[in-house]
Amino acid sequence: MHPGEVMKILQSKNRQLSDKNDEYLVLSQKRSEAERVYKVAYAQEMLRLKTDGTPVTIIRDVVSGNKAVADLKFGYEVAVAIEKACLESMKDLREAIGSARSILTWLREEKANP
């Protein structure tokens, strides 16, 4: 492997990492919005049930079983998982960049000390 090839790999991985950073920003905003919508719906349903006279001891279970609230919670949990997957991908790219840098250093040392 030549230093030029390693530099191309580094450039490619850095570009990919930059793209992932942008993607992470968008995913974080989507996750935050999904969380906000879910929590507002959860609170509104709890308030409605309390107003309707539902026993306090079962309100949380009833709210969690509400299809609309459960669907919003599902969407929120999916958004969290996607955000975490993006973070793991970014971690992998950072490790690949570190490996390429190590190879580049090794090639430089090989060339300096034949």
> Domain residues of the chain, as ranges?
3-112
Reply yes or no on whether the pLDDT at 49 is more than 80: yes
Reply yes or no on whether the pLDDT at 2 is more than 90: no
User: From CA 2, how far away is CA 46, in angstroms rounded?
Assistant: 64
User: From CA 51, how far away is CA 31, in angstroms rounded?
Assistant: 30
The percentage of residues in the chain with a pLDDT greater than 70, rounded to a whole number, is 100
Residues with Cβ within 8 Å of 99's Cβ and at least 6 positions away in sequence, in order, are none
pLDDT in tens, 30-41: 999 999 999 999
Nearest to 10 by CA among 109, 110, 99, 106: 99
Give residue 112's pLDDT: 83
Give whole-number Cα distances, 9 to 2, 23, 24, 92, 100, in Å: 11, 21, 22, 14, 7
**pTM for this predicted structure:** 0.85
pLDDT in tens, 51-75: 999 999 999 999 999 999 999 999 9
Written as six digits, the tokens of 13 are 């991985």
Nearest to 77 by CA among 39, 108, 47, 46: 39
User: From CA 76, how far away is CA 33, in angstroms rounded?
Assistant: 8
